[in-house]
Structure 1
């Protein structure tokens, strides 16, 4: 292997390509560089080898006598490298990479990931928890979960669950809330990344044009939820975000009223791509988990104001 330190790899590629294709021009087209660049690479490689590989003739470069074994080994070597790259680019059918917003990953997927493993022990999950929208044409991801209107370029989007929002707060704050207007007196916790505002719920509650009193703004919905659990204020939440906290009675819904944001949770895959088996298995598992979560939601106690 130490011999490879003596000659640049690009020079060896140039030697092999020129010998196989028979001309500088053909080699330049294959390598995606200029004829002059190939010529310089050949000259440098010959200097590093300490011997000429080609004779310069009016008809172009011709391999000199005795270079046959060198050219044959170069051809074998680059063919092996090409095959190695092809193997490296083959997808790992046991690894499923999911791009998902941090709040969805932490509040919904992570608490249930052991159930996915039990159902599909042959698969490993790699969660790319980021607010950045993955580029499916470039990033190494298999499937994504996004919140929005389902109109993203470059992906096929399948609606999983429409998004509706409603106020939640700690039980101690809910005691004095009898009507929706009472919420206007409470400090409000805002998710700075939310794609909706309190206006959507206030309008649904007959309070269009009224304003809430923001206390704190958080960069992530999970932080906002934790602050609400700590009794620091009221926030607008959605079902998958608040389900566990409401079920554990850390939060309550003062009112049953929910407002549609016009958005939803979507499963996204590369446009036009055939879904491999591992993606289909994940989609089926996710659908089953969502159905169970919505059944749990329907079985929750009535909102605080209805008791």
Structure 2
């Protein structure tokens, strides 16, 4: 291996490419450089090796007798290197890495993972619960689910569900509600990181300009939802956050009035990477689960 230190690798690559492809122009195109640069690299390599690899002729470079054996071995060695790099880049498609916000993972995804495993026993999920949008070009994340306007730079986004918000509270608190204005009598628990305010729903309900009395504020939507379940107040929630608690009966959504936020849940995937079969299967499954959940919530409201 020490002998390699005396010869530039780029020069060996240039020589191998010319020997295999038969011309400076073809080698230059493969290597992404000019023909002149390939010629210079070969000249330097010949000087470093102390032997002539190519005979110069009017028709171009012709492999010399002394260079033929070396170039044959170089071609074999570079094929091994190319296969090693390809293998290192290959993903284990039995493992699917999904990046989601912690609140989506905790309040929607975990309750349903057994059904995914039942339908796709050959796929093992790795859930990356984070609010940071991963670099899908360089990380091991296969796909993400995010809430926003769907315009994130450098990713492909597909709408999964338009976000709607509505009040939720414990059944005990809901028992005293008769009309939308009654909600103003209840204390509110607030998600400090929400991308919307109570005014959005109040306006939809015909109560624009009214104010809620805030009891507690949390920096995490999941904690705010737990406070609502515990009867500490009413929360402005959305479908994937409150759906499971509504179906279980630990929360109630009074009045059936929903307000669109202008945001949505989106799948985000790499622009350049091929979508794996596992990622496609996961997306289909999530869509089916979301659609079924929305049908169940609509049936409850009806």
TM-score (norm 1): 0.71
Distance 1:295 1:179 in 2: 25
Q: CA deviation at 1:183?
A: 4.1
Q: Who is 2:113 aligned against?
A: 113
Q: Who is 2:198 aligned against?
A: 198
Distance 1:8 1:177 in 2: 80
Q: CA deviation at 1:201?
A: 0.8
Structure 1 residues 6, 170: closer, same or farther in 2, change over 3 A? farther
Q: CA deviation at 1:210?
A: 2.0
Q: Who is 1:66 aligned against?
A: 66
Write out aligned runs for 1:83-232 (5 A): 83-86=83-86, 92-132=92-132, 142-148=142-148, 155=156, 157-159=158-160, 161-169=161-169, 180-184=180-184, 186-194=187-195, 196-214=196-214, 215-216=216-217, 218=219, 220-229=220-229
Q: CA deviation at 1:237?
A: 0.3
Distance 1:69 1:102 in 2: 59
Structure 1 residues 232, 278: closer, same or farther in 2, change over 3 A? same
Distance 1:125 1:148 in 2: 24
Q: Who is 1:12 aligned against?
A: 12
Structure 1 residues 38, 236: closer, same or farther in 2, change over 3 A? same
Q: Who is 2:32 aligned against?
A: 32
Q: CA deviation at 1:177?
A: 6.0
Q: CA deviation at 1:77?
A: 1.9
Distance 2:184 2:2 in 1: 74
Q: CA deviation at 1:204?
A: 2.1
Structure 1 residues 128, 30: closer, same or farther in 2, change over 3 A? same
- Structure 2 unaligned regions, length at least 5: none
Q: Who is 1:305 aligned against?
A: none
- Structure 1 unaligned regions, length at least 5: 303-307
Q: Who is 2:265 aligned against?
A: 265
Q: CA deviation at 1:6?
A: 6.2
Q: CA deviation at 1:112?
A: 1.4
Please state whether the residue corresponding to 2:163 is helix, strand or coil. strand
Q: CA deviation at 1:228?
A: 3.9
Q: Who is 1:245 aligned against?
A: 245
Q: CA deviation at 1:244?
A: 2.8
Distance 2:33 2:238 in 1: 55
Please state whether the residue corresponding to 1:165 is helix, strand or coil. strand
Please state whether the residue corresponding to 2:257 is helix, strand or coil. coil
Structure 1 residues 273, 11: closer, same or farther in 2, change over 3 A? closer
Confirm or deny: 8 A CA contact 2:12 2:74 kept in the other structure: yes
Aligned residues: 297
Deviations 1:202-259, CA, capped at 9 Å, x for gaps: 01222112233455252x4324324444566532101221133345555444544332
Distance 1:38 1:228 in 2: 70
Structure 1 residues 46, 97: closer, same or farther in 2, change over 3 A? same
Structure 1 residues 44, 292: closer, same or farther in 2, change over 3 A? same
Distance 2:33 2:266 in 1: 43
Structure 1 residues 271, 76: closer, same or farther in 2, change over 3 A? closer
| Deviates further, 269-278 or 11-20 | 269-278
Structure 1 residues 178, 33: closer, same or farther in 2, change over 3 A? same
Confirm or deny: 8 A CA contact 1:54 1:64 kept in the other structure: yes
Confirm or deny: 8 A CA contact 1:180 1:205 kept in the other structure: yes
Write out aligned runs for 1:273-284 (5 A): 277-284=277-284
Q: CA deviation at 1:2?
A: 6.8
Computed over aligned residues only, the root mean square deviation of the Cα atoms, in angstroms, reads 4.3
Structure 1 residues 222, 8: closer, same or farther in 2, change over 3 A? farther
